[in-house]
Amino acid sequence: MTAATQGAKYTIGVDFGSESGRAVLVDIATGREVATAIYRYRNGVLDEHLPAPDDDVRLAPDWALQDPLDYIRTFQETVPAVLAEAAVNAADVVGVGIDFTACTMLPTTADGTPLCALPEFRRDPHAWVKLWKHHAAQPQADRINELARQRGEAWLASYGGRISSEWFFAKSLQILDEAPHIYRAADRLIEAADWVVWRLTGNECRNSCTAGYKAMWSKDAGFPSTAFFAGLDSALATIVADKMSSDIASIGERAGGLTAEAAAWTTLVPGTPVAVANVDAHVSVPASTVTGPGTMVAVMGTSICHLVLGSRPAAVEGMCGVVEDGIVPGLFGFEAGQSAVGDLFAWFVETSVPPAYHAAAAAQGIDVHAVLEREAARLQPGENGLVALDWWNGNRSILVDADLTGLIVGATLATRTSDIYRSLIEATAFGTRVIIEAFEAAGVAIDEVVACGGLPERNRLLMQVYADVTGRVFRIAASTQTAALGSAMFGAVAAGAAEGGYDTIDEATERMARLSDVVFRPNVANRAAYDALFAEYRRLHDDFGRGESSTMKRLKAIRAAAIATATVGP
């Protein structure tokens, strides 16, 4: 492996994903990723039962929990590993940053002990970490949305008019509804992102990113009012004062220094500066070289998260949120999203690709996606005769409707597997174009796009289609682990120039973040065909996604009724 450079200084970023945590050790001067280590969570995603010895406690559908001790183990396993691998002296590590999935939250005691770590609560599922994809709080999200609409809450407009079941107060209210004793026992309710920073620094420091995007906080107005919370449940009225904090630290600040305990976990030096916590997608923005308006960052993996910076707020239709200081201090961070992208292609390969493609992939030692991509790349735009609505997992932006479903039209007996595959790629590109047009319609410029997150480097056709469909240049972040790199960059900013880091995220970005040399430019020859296809997409989008034609919702209702009456077969 690459050895440390004489006299160099380093920063460490730790990225907490759904299945594992990852640390990267980065050279502050160059952004070179010197060493990486991954810890696969011992208890993974808990979606069927609690971990042994309590594995007789079953979890209902839509539940997804985690064990907070897996996060501590991540520090213990990965940070010493990267130091050792790179042969770097702990004293040369000037800062640490972390990023997390969100909203991933847990109840703790006043000193930060997770309730699930206490014997009296550990058999109660509500005492554990609720992972971002815990979807069992939908009834609570519905109540929050209903009340917010009734009361005309101003903050609703910042979230596309609807908050998600994944978010902080939906999950908190579910605890109160279903396990009031846990709610009462919880001195604190806290994002896991902030909890790990608390564990590292001893400082319960709440970050502006998760507060803004997941807990309806804004710099101007703070959290929703006591009256609003009281309208949901009198016991919830003082949740912010009692179990949270109104003292929100901006992204880019220093949360504190490593405690002796955390220094022992990590083998770092006590007092090493630790950045305010961040979110995985959002921290990828500077790691993709973007610290100002005009360039969208598309974090492309199983889904797409679209992030844009603006110098002032704007009402963008169907965005997930807009938060001041939410991504880069001093700017408004806009977030939008598409619910199924890589997941959609994976679904297709799993359910709809015949043996010949699998055999070709095996024979050539490549992925089935690569075989499909090669065949699909031979087609002219429009040649497949298909257009799809990419709503296999609902529509996040701009329709904000989880009950929408996938549609494909144009199939004939001559339609091939690769025709359909290409139409799904095109559909996700059309979805991105709808989002870009919504931003531009609201006065937020999107001049070009930087993609990161896994899909871009694997699928050149995908990138070219996105460039052609959106008419934007698509660049790709050089790093394949932008979240961890971005956290390391914020670690450098937490240190500051005086302690060997940087004073601003702009400076850190200039020195540490890079783009790949591969650039996808719109092919003007494809413009007319894609404009024509996009007009069809847009028409179907509005027909099925808005207004009268609620075919998709009626089908969901019919399906729910069928499942409810289904008798289990022999």
Binding site residues, its own copies, CB under 8 A: 340, 343-344, 347, 349-355, 358, 378-387, 392-393, 405-413, 415-417, 420, 529, 532-533, 536, 539-540, 543-544, 549, 551-552, 554-556, 558-559, 561-563, 565-566, 569
Closest contact distance (angstroms) between CB of 556 and its own copies is: 6
| Structural contact between residues 67 and 41, judged by C-beta atoms closer than 8 angstroms | yes
Residue 555 burial (CB count, 10 A): 12
Which of residues 74 and 303 has its CB atom nearest to its own copies in the complex? Answer: 303
Q: Coil, helix or strand for 289?
A: coil
Which of residues 158 and 165 has its CB atom nearest to its own copies in the complex? Answer: 165
Q: What is the DSSP letter of 191?
A: E
Which of residues 389 and 444 has its CB atom nearest to its own copies in the complex? Answer: 389
Which of residues 152 and 365 has its CB atom nearest to its own copies in the complex? Answer: 365
| Structural contact between residues 246 and 218, judged by C-beta atoms closer than 8 angstroms | no
Distance CA 308, CA 322 (A): 9
Which of residues 264 and 558 has its CB atom nearest to its own copies in the complex? Answer: 558
Which of residues 350 and 517 has its CB atom nearest to its own copies in the complex? Answer: 350
Closest contact distance (angstroms) between CB of 416 and its own copies is: 6
Structure tokens at 411: 């199939």
Which of residues 349 and 493 has its CB atom nearest to its own copies in the complex? Answer: 349
Closest contact distance (angstroms) between CB of 470 and its own copies is: 18
Distance CA 308, CA 323 (A): 11
User: Which residues contact residue 255 at a Cβ distance below 8 angstroms, ignoring those fewer than 6 apart?
Assistant: 197, 200, 201, 203, 205, 249, 274, 275, 276, 277, 494
CB burial readout 200-222, b (16+ within 10 A) else e: bbbbbbbbbbbbbbbbbbbeeee
Closest contact distance (angstroms) between CB of 397 and its own copies is: 18
Structure tokens at 113: 């002990």
Sheet with 129-130: strands ordered across = 65-66, 129-130, 105-108, 188-191
E runs forming strands in 101-242: 105-108, 129-130, 188-191, 206-207
Distance CA 79, CA 398 (A): 40
Distance CA 339, CA 401 (A): 10
Closest contact distance (angstroms) between CB of 525 and its own copies is: 9
Closest contact distance (angstroms) between CB of 309 and its own copies is: 31
Closest contact distance (angstroms) between CB of 365 and its own copies is: 17
Which of residues 226 and 415 has its CB atom nearest to its own copies in the complex? Answer: 415
Closest contact distance (angstroms) between CB of 349 and its own copies is: 8
Closest CA to 404 of 527, 547, 518: 547
Q: What is the DSSP letter of 5?
A: P
Which of residues 74 and 526 has its CB atom nearest to its own copies in the complex? Answer: 526
Closest contact distance (angstroms) between CB of 382 and its own copies is: 4
Distance CA 76, CA 528 (A): 55
Closest contact distance (angstroms) between CB of 473 and its own copies is: 24
Closest contact distance (angstroms) between CB of 363 and its own copies is: 14
Closest contact distance (angstroms) between CB of 355 and its own copies is: 4
Q: What is the DSSP letter of 369?
A: H
Please count the CA atoms within 13 angstroms of the CA of 140 that sit on its side-chain side: 21
Which sign, positive or negative, has the C-alpha torsion 440, 322, 395, 338?
Answer: positive
| Structural contact between residues 476 and 290, judged by C-beta atoms closer than 8 angstroms | no
Closest contact distance (angstroms) between CB of 41 and its own copies is: 23
Three state DSSP letters for 307-370:
EEEECCCCCCCCCCEEEECCCCCCCEEEEEEECCCHHHHHHHHHHHCCHHHHHHHHHHCCCHHH
Closest contact distance (angstroms) between CB of 59 and its own copies is: 18
Distance CA 444, CA 453 (A): 23
Which of residues 352 and 364 has its CB atom nearest to its own copies in the complex? Answer: 352
Which of residues 307 and 379 has its CB atom nearest to its own copies in the complex? Answer: 379
* Pairing label, strands 473-477, 10-16: unpaired
Which of residues 413 and 498 has its CB atom nearest to its own copies in the complex? Answer: 413
Distance CA 356, CA 372 (A): 11
Which of residues 35 and 349 has its CB atom nearest to its own copies in the complex? Answer: 349
Closest CA to 369 of 405, 341, 392: 341
Q: Coil, helix or strand for 30?
A: coil
Amino acid at 7: G
Closest CA to 158 of 276, 279, 313: 313
Which of residues 260 and 563 has its CB atom nearest to its own copies in the complex? Answer: 563
